[in-house]
Amino acid sequence: MTAGILLLVSGALLAYVVAGPGGPGDGGRQGAGDRSAAGTTEVAYEVLGEGTADISYREAGAEGTVRNAVLPWRKTVRLPQGATPAVSVTLGAKGGRVSCGLTVAGRHVQSSTAEGVFGRGTCAGASSGTPAGADAS
């Protein structure tokens, strides 16, 4: 009898691990991937040009920084709805010309250009996909 109970418990545990707590019929259950995407918006940052630049960008709960990023550079993150996505680029002592772009939920929101020695450009917008303003230079 003990072996039978052990086998039954092992089978139930295996079913729980494979199917999850709601079992196979739990159509309303969100998976881990769904939960992390709930209440967030996909944001794509892009910096175009040649050479390298320092890039700062906003991601969920933090600021990301890439020093001497090789261009072109792209990064896609998920931000909580209502958060303000932003990316900024700073050129070095060699100068040059680069542009940054911001896409929110598949819609281009803003672009900016940085040029010259230690030139800077910033793109920011609303995470709802509403344009933050016209393209800036």
pLDDT at 127: 67
Residue 38 has a pLDDT of 72
Is 73 exposed, middle or buried (CB count within 10 Å of its CB: 0-12, 13-18, 19+)? buried
pLDDT score for 75:
97
pLDDT given for residue 126 in this prediction:
77
Q: How far is CA 63 from CA 5, 23, 94, in A?
A: 53, 39, 26
User: What pLDDT is stored for residue 61 in this prediction?
Assistant: 84
Domains in the chain (CATH in brackets) are 1-30 (no CATH), 39-137 (2.60.40)
How far apart, in whole angstroms, are the C-alpha atoms of residue 137 and residue 73?
19
Rg, C-alpha atoms of the chain: 23
pLDDT the model gives residue 132? 41
pLDDT (tens, 9 = 90+) of the chain, 137 residues, equals 443 333 333 333 333 333 333 334 333 333 333 334 679 999 999 999 999 999 999 998 899 999 999 999 999 999 998 899 999 999 999 999 999 999 999 999 999 999 999 999 999 987 654 444 333 33
* pLDDT at res. 104: 95
Task: Give yes or no for a cis peptide into 72 (omega within 30° of 0).
Answer: yes
The rounded distance, in Å, linking the Cα atoms of 40 and 100 is 22
Runs of H (alpha helix) within 1-137: 2-19, 32-37
Residue 48: CB atoms within 10 A of its CB come to 16
The helix/strand/coil state of 30 is: coil
Give the pLDDT score at 16: 32
